[in-house]
Amino acid sequence: MQVTTITGACAPLVRWVGGLSAGAPILSAGATRGIEWGDYYFVPVTNLSPEPYGVLKPLPVLVECSGEEHEWIATLLEVNLCSSGDNPVAAVENLKTYMLDIYDTLAEDDPRNLGPEPLRQLRLLREYLVRRPDVEQG
């Protein structure tokens, strides 16, 4: 079993085992009843369709309920990206869109123009994503 440890500010919070946190619940579609503030789940993102990208390995996304208004936050901890939504599905979909926008922006830039953190993010995103040649860009 492959163990990947999250580094940085979130290191004390999460230890990843095979792409998912050991012992953490996995959020299934429609499972939002009874969710309380502070609850968190892991969602393995394995599909980015209809976008022109494939997933090389599941993206381990942390989804948590935050605040009294039940705002949902989806975070790709390792890459230091997050987005929010009114429900867990919206938060994950918004994160996927944001992640691909960041990936495209970083990949189009000359690496010499990127700082250490954007370079790290690009390197990590390339471990998870690949552009599918069979899909034309819009």
Least confident of 13-17, 25-29, 51-55, 105-109: 13-17
Query: Which pLDDT value is given to residue 20?
Result: 39
Say what the pLDDT of residue 15 is.
34
Q: Three-state DSSP class for 26?
A: strand
What would the mean pLDDT of 29-41 be, rounded to a whole number? Answer: 53
Asked if residues 80 and 61 have their Cβ atoms less than 8 Å apart, the reply is no
Higher pLDDT, 26 or 128: 128
Give the pair of three-digit tokens for residue 43: 């969602």
Inform me whether the pLDDT recorded for 102 exceeds 50.
Answer: yes
pLDDT value, residue 121: 96
Work out the percent of the chain whose per-residue pLDDT is above 90. Answer: 49
Hunting for tokens 């979909």 — which residue is that? 93
Amino acid letter, residue 28: S
Q: Which pLDDT does position 18 carry in this prediction?
A: 34
Query: pLDDT, tens digit, for every residue of 43-77?
Result: 889 999 889 999 999 999 999 887 767 788 999 99
pLDDT band at 133 (very low <50, low <70, confident <90, very high): confident
Alpha carbon distances (Å) from 47 to 37, 101, 115: 28, 16, 29
pLDDT attached to residue 117: 95
Per-residue pLDDT at 4 exceeds 70: no
